[in-house]
Amino acid sequence: MTAESQDWDPLQQEIAALLARVAGARDRAAFLQLYRLTAPRLNALVTRILRDERSAEDVLQEVYLNIWNRGESYSSGRAKPMTWMIAIARNRAIDRLRLNRTSAPVHAPIDDIDVADHGLLPLDAMLEHERGQALKSCIEALEERQRGMIMAAFYDGFTYDELARRLGVPLNTMKSWIRRGLARLRHCLDQRP
- Domain spanning 106-193, CATH architecture: Orthogonal Bundle (1.10)
| Neighbouring C-beta atoms of residue 181, cutoff 10 Å | 21
3-state helix, strand, coil in the chain (%, to 5): 75, 0, 25
Which CATH fold would you assign to the domain 1-103? Rna Polymerase Sigma Factor; Chain: A (1.10.1740)
CA distance 63 to 174: 29
Instruction: Decide: residue 140, CB within 10 A, 0-12 exposed, 13-18 middle, 19+ buried.
Output: exposed
CA distance 9 to 24: 23
Question: Is 106-193 the same fold as 1-103?
Answer: no
The residue ranges of every structural domain in the chain are 1-103, 106-193
**Residue 114's pLDDT is what?**
45
CA distance 191 to 115: 22
pLDDT tens for each residue of 52-65 = 888 889 999 999 99
Q: What pTM does this model have?
A: 0.54
Determine the distance from the C-alpha atom of residue 117 to the mean position of all C-alpha atoms in its chain, rounded to a whole number.
13
pLDDT tens for each residue of 129-160 = 567 677 788 888 888 888 888 888 777 777 88
Instruction: Decide: residue 16, CB within 10 A, 0-12 exposed, 13-18 middle, 19+ buried.
Output: buried
**Residue 59's pLDDT is what?**
92
